[in-house]
Amino acid sequence: MFQKEIELHDRLAGLLNKLADRRTVDDDAADREYFSGGELSLVAEGHVAGLVIERIPITPDEYKEIRDVLFIFSLPVRHGRFINNRDEALAGLIVRDTLPEGSPFVIIASGLPGFDAFAAVSHAALRELESIEYEVTSSPKISFDRLLLSWATDVLDMEANPTRAPDAWNARKVSDLTYSLSRRDTIERLLPALSEPLRSAVDTWLAEYDHIYTSFTVDNTDRWIAWKGRRVRDGLNWWWYRIPPSGPVAEEYRSYMAGFEEWRRKRDAETSAQEEEPANLSSTTAAESSAKEND
């Protein structure tokens, strides 16, 4: 057991250094803190989850190292959603023989649909995306380039979500969807901060993923998605009024609506019964009065 821990420690230390240039500063700092505290399973889980969810590319050698790390663990691992489903997690990794040079955005986005939108934008100009940051109270700052990547990779994963069972380990729930839509809102608010030609390139990139999102969603006329995202005012961005027609989110919606209809049926029945009671009481009183008069 002790030998396995030493091997796991050494392998994770190497991965932390190799993958640092492709991960956010906050993610890297968090994993290094877990690493220094000996929470090696959390480091491995965070690494694999980030690589799969964010579609961060790795080399074949890095893939082998990650696979070796995952198979050191004896399953199940507490809080190890990706570790415990390591075969599927490994299948979700993006492996390339060579990685492009440039910023993390270039390295990741170059393998995603629509990257040709940035063909006329220099790598130096793309660095502008890193300089624009969004900050929410009690949450780490996130740069514009990471917001763009987040929306793109979330859309691609949500497109595959309808094939997953509602209780699947990697199923996306409505809370995941509303979180992604909130980030899309943030992107929209930050767009005016971009200069040309970067603004036009980003608009084209967004149009690609907005189109994909509309392709696997339908109108949500009763605004359940917006309500679940705590968006109750009118005039929201259009993405709040759409919902996948199948898959885990759709199942949540149908389950909620069935429960709501049952509650409404019971409420209407109780209301009807309460309205009938005074009428029945009046009829009884009138009958009793008539009986007394006859006596």
Q: What is the mean pLDDT of each run of 10 residues along the chain (295 residues)?
A: 86 94 88 94 95 96 97 94 97 96 92 95 90 80 94 97 95 97 96 93 97 97 94 90 96 94 87 72 55 55
Residue 293 burial by Cβ neighbours in a 10 Å radius (0-12, 13-18, 19+) = exposed
H/E segment holding residue 58: strand 57-58
| pLDDT for 136 | 73
Domain identity same for 140 and 269: yes
| CA–CA dist 139, 251 (Å, integer) | 30
| pLDDT for 194 | 93
| Structure tokens, 230 | 């705590």
Q: Whole-model pTM above 0.85?
A: yes
Domain identity same for 128 and 220: yes
- Residue 84: inside a domain, yes or no? yes
Domain identity same for 79 and 115: no
- Residue 291: inside a domain, yes or no? no
Residues 6+ apart with CB under 8 A from 128: 194, 195, 198
Domain identity same for 161 and 189: yes
- Residue 213: inside a domain, yes or no? yes
Residue ranges of E strands in 181-225 = 218-219
| CA–CA dist 31, 38 (Å, integer) | 10
Domain identity same for 147 and 72: no
Domain identity same for 82 and 149: no
| pLDDT for 4 | 87
Type of residue found at 258: A
Domain identity same for 241 and 124: yes
Domain identity same for 79 and 182: no
| pLDDT for 288 | 55
- Residue 124: inside a domain, yes or no? yes
Of 52, 78, 99, the one marking the end of a domain is: 99
Type of residue found at 190: L
| pLDDT for 97 | 96
Write out the residue range of the structural domain in which residue 36 sits: 1-99
- Residue 75: inside a domain, yes or no? yes
Helical packing angle, 60-70 and 2-19, nearest 10°: 150
Cβ–Cβ under 8 Å, residues 288 and 212: no
Q: What do you get for the CA distance between the two ends of the chain, in Å?
A: 97
Residue of 111, 145, 143, 107 whose CA lies nearest to 126:
145
| pLDDT for 211 | 98
| CA–CA dist 203, 54 (Å, integer) | 21
| pLDDT for 264 | 87
| pLDDT for 276 | 73
| CA–CA dist 126, 116 (Å, integer) | 13
- Residue 172: inside a domain, yes or no? yes
| Structure tokens, 182 | 């909130």
Kindly report the backbone phi and psi dihedral angles of residue 249, in degrees, each rounded to the nearest multiple of 5, phi listed first. -65, -45
| Structure tokens, 155 | 């859309």
Three-state SS for 92-157 is CCEECCCCCCCCHHHHHHCCCCCHHHHCCCCHHHHCHHHHCEECCCCCCCEEHHHHHHHHHHHHHH
- Residue 289: inside a domain, yes or no? no
